Amino acid sequence: MSIGQLRHGPVDRYRRVVQVLVHHGFEHYVVDQLGLGHLLPISWGMLRGHRRPKSFTRGERLRLALEELGTTYIKLGQILSTRSDLLAPDLIAELSKLQNDVPPEPLSVVEAQITAELGKAPEALFTHFDPQPLGSASIGQVHAAKLLTGEEVVVKVRRSGVERLVEADLAVLMDLARLAQTRTAWGKVYDLPAMVHEFADTLRAELDYVREGRNAERIARNYSQDSNLRVPKIFWPYTTKRVLTMERIDGIKINDLAALDAAGIDRHKLAVKALRIVLKMILEDGFFHADPHPGNFLIGPRETIGLVDFGMVGSLDEQTRENLLHLLAAVVEHDIDRILDRMSALGIVGTTFQLDHLKQDLEHLISLYWGLPLKEMDTRRMLEEFMLMVRRRELSVPAHLVLMIKTLNMHEGLARQLDPEITLTDLVPPYVRQLAAKSYLPQRWGKRVLPAVLDLSQLMVTLPRRADRLLGQAERGTTSVSVRVQETEHVLDSLNRMVNRLILGILTASATIGIALLLQLLRASDLRSPIFEIVSALLAAGFLAAVTMALWLTLGILRRGHH
């Protein structure tokens, strides 16, 4: 792919991405597989294979590269750290360490951003605005402040220019994803452009502080009757897409065990509350906080939990939650066929020939835990082994389910820090029974019956007409069936490239021979004129271009053959 084909992002940014990846030892993917060596300076070719000390692991090199590339790639790494269905455990572990802390912007820049967004300078909006930020990340930074009405708040201010940089990087990522899909084996297994599109939606949502405020309010409504969870109030007159003002919540970080003990917090009760909260979010509400970092949980008196940072959330519709319920029931009953059916209903799919192997994997996984007391079941390990099986069998898993599994794993990890004896299996069965009972309530069925009746009546009206149209097409011989065999696409793509390269080689050889003969004829003639000199120069330039093209083709063939 040439620079002209990489047209969606700035060329300088492409060069920067390629150079950083090669610098950290990923030239095999960037140069050999993606064919982007032309974006490197010529001098880099002499240094190939000698970028990073061998003491760095693959995961460390990837983490360092993403940190060097900045905001978009750090966020990409953080999201990939949730995708245990895609990446190996060593990469997951290293990407989980990605740090998003960066030096804060100058106060003058922050004040200018607030003035531009809210129409007034900070001193006109707040009685106090702390010049030292509470925290600083690649997207924004947070300052403590006090409103004119006396409320203690925190003000999150987005960094200037970050949106423009993110959009440029997303364009680069999309082009690279499309390129990888056609040129790499793993690109043919996974829909990389769709994944980048999903990531772009997630990142743009994090850039929009209005959406984050609405996320917070939605969770607050879901827990309006529960005093165990505290969600900060959003002050909308002081909030825009680039500035978010919310109530300040103080407390002890959930992983500060010494401070919790000193404050007299019952850690077992706190662990139970934390797990019940996440189970309610996922199984009942279908809308959950998807960034369970310890710094986002602030513990107050009587084991109350203050929750902050609502940039990353997940959602599950009612049908998905019901399928999860049935999947859990099938696991309890050790019914492998029903498990496979529910996995398919949830969108966890693979190719048909994987079915027998998948059955064997599931039999083995369930047999490890079958008959064990709940206390002895390690839910976190079960989920991790399930995701390893998914990755090994190259199954496609919807991103929202992966995010849910990662969220559950992280919540159980936090709960086990508080109380090593607790597991999710202690609390899941009551929720399963509760949801099972709710699914058979008359009012739940009533909500479904009316839409089903409407759909059926519409089908009865349109079905005869559609059937008559289809039969008419069949009689006239105009019915066509479109069949797409995905397994042969990469073969056809390879053949297409081979034929194109062959044609280009023939044309290059023809041009080289033809130009050489013309040059020989001109030199043998006695004609001498300015036009003769110009024509000779043009033919000589064409000959050099043809030779260069031949060398380029030769190098390309050798490189592909070596790979």
The residues annotated with a catalytic role in the active site are 291
Helix axes 355-369, 379-392, angle to 10 degrees: 170
Measuring CA to CA, how many Å separate 320 from each of 287, 403, 443? 12, 14, 19
Check if the beta carbon of residue 397 is closer than 8 Å to that of residue 343. no
Tokens 């662990």 belong to residue: 271
Burial of 232 (0-12, 13-18, 19+ CB in 10 A): buried
Check if the beta carbon of residue 156 is closer than 8 Å to that of residue 209. yes
Of 268, 229, 273, 266, the residue nearest 249 (C-alpha): 229
d(CA 494, CA 514): 30
Per-residue 3-state assignment (H helix, E strand, C coil) for 82-131: CCCCCCCHHHHHHHCCCCCECCCCCHHHHHHHHHHHHCCCHHHHEEEECC
DSSP 134-183: SEEBSSEEEEEEEETTS-EEEEEEEPTTHHHHHHHHHHHHHHHHHHHHHH
Instruction: Classify strands 305-307 and 135-136 as parallel, antiparallel or unpaired.
Output: unpaired
Encoded tokens for 435: 């949801």
Cβ neighbours of residue 201 closer than 8 Å, sequence gap 6 or more: none
d(CA 22, CA 43): 13
d(CA 419, CA 438): 31
Using DSSP's 3-state secondary structure scheme, residue 305 falls into strand
d(CA 349, CA 285): 26
Per-residue 3-state assignment (H helix, E strand, C coil) for 184-220: CHHHHHCCHHHHHHHHHHHHHHHHCHHHHHHHHHHHH
- Tell me the Cα Rg of the chain: 30
Measuring CA to CA, how many Å separate 177 from each of 69, 172, 331, 506, 552? 17, 9, 36, 32, 25
d(CA 323, CA 325): 5
Using DSSP's 3-state secondary structure scheme, residue 252 falls into strand
Strand (E) or helix (H) holding 446: helix 442-476
CA angle 313, 314, 320 (to 5 degrees): 165
Cβ neighbours of residue 243 closer than 8 Å, sequence gap 6 or more: 113, 114, 117, 118, 155, 156, 157, 158, 209
